[in-house]
Amino acid sequence: MREAYFKPYNLIFKQASGTSRGVLREKKTYFLILEDGQNKGIGECGLFKGLSFDDRPDYENQLQWVCEHIDLGLDELLKKTIDFPSIQFGLEMAFLSLEADDGFDLFPSKFTQGQDKIPINGLIWMGEKSFMKSQIEDKIKQGFHCVKLKIGAIDFEEELNLLKYIRQEFSAKDIELRVDANGAFEPHQALEKLKRLSEYELHSIEQPIKQGHWEVMAKLCEKTPLDIALDEELIGIQDVTKRQNLLQTIQPQYIILKPSLVGGFEHCKTWMKIADQHQIGYWITSALESNVGLNAIAQFTYSLSIKRPQGLGTGSLFTNNIKSPLEVKGEYLTYNPNKKWDNFNEIITV
């Protein structure tokens, strides 16, 4: 007989973090806890306000329903929560955790044994030009060879100047530059902006225009001088046939997979299978989960053996994150098996 309950938790940013959708100061998440009398399983339902497909008023009611019907089992619960991707992610994680010898070692590997590491990109948040410049300098000093800049909120010319500054100091061989517009460009201006960005030998741009404009995005992907990665475009596309239609129509160069936003690990694998059929690349990114969710995503990512840098460097953003074995060392995410999850039980106690 299983029992389940959930606990909301408010993550507080160390400093306000800017995106083209606004400034983030805190992020509410939910921990889903399963118990079977002997073992405990922990999952994180990483709802992202203003972005998640399941950001809706009845979210906590749905979580409560899941807890009351936990004995339906994982497969049936996943079918019943198809419109709640972040709950699906939390369920997958919690059931894996319940079955694991160590509740946090979900995908045992050389990574969780501390014998291997995951390359990650350094993340640069939007803000005043001087603030962004100091972040860039810090990441490069730390040893990052792949840096991702959030763009689209300050003056475009200033953003180009920042890219010019980096390229004057570091060639494309030294630093791989990715940018993320979070849908900030107007469709009629997007191609021209992509042309100007491409002068700085960027690796790719994420979501240049808002999601939902398939035909416009398809033309951009066809004509772009700069590789395009779909991100928000994948959110809410839960039907497999629609996923196939989307990638076949748009033909992007890459897709970005965030397990909290697309419905967990199995949904990520479905996206990857379709992407492989169309020779579309991909990488995995966290969506500002706590270290509990980040840990699960990192272990899953390692199991895929994707060589390019992943977007998993978000664990140090919060003042009150869960203490975990995850450590960023230079441009790598590592797992220190000698470190404990030593403050988690207090947080999830009812």
- Cβ–Cβ under 8 Å, residues 97 and 104: yes
Structure tokens at 283: 């990488």
Q: What is the rounded CA–CA span in Å between residue 225 and residue 196?
A: 9
Residues in the chain: 350
Q: What angle do CA 301, 307, 100 make, to 5 degrees?
A: 25
- The one catalytic residue in 117, 139, 193, 258 is 258
Strands 22-35 and 40-45, how do they pair?
A: antiparallel
Q: Please identify which of the residues 150, 164, 173, 273 carries the catalytic annotation.
A: 150
Using alpha carbons only, how large is the chain's radius of gyration in Å? 20
258 catalytically annotated: yes
Of the CA atoms within 13 Å of residue 81, those in its CB half-sphere come to 34
**Strand partners of residue 284:** 257
Instruction: Find residue 33's DSSP bridge partners.
Output: 5, 42
Residues marked active site are found at 150, 258
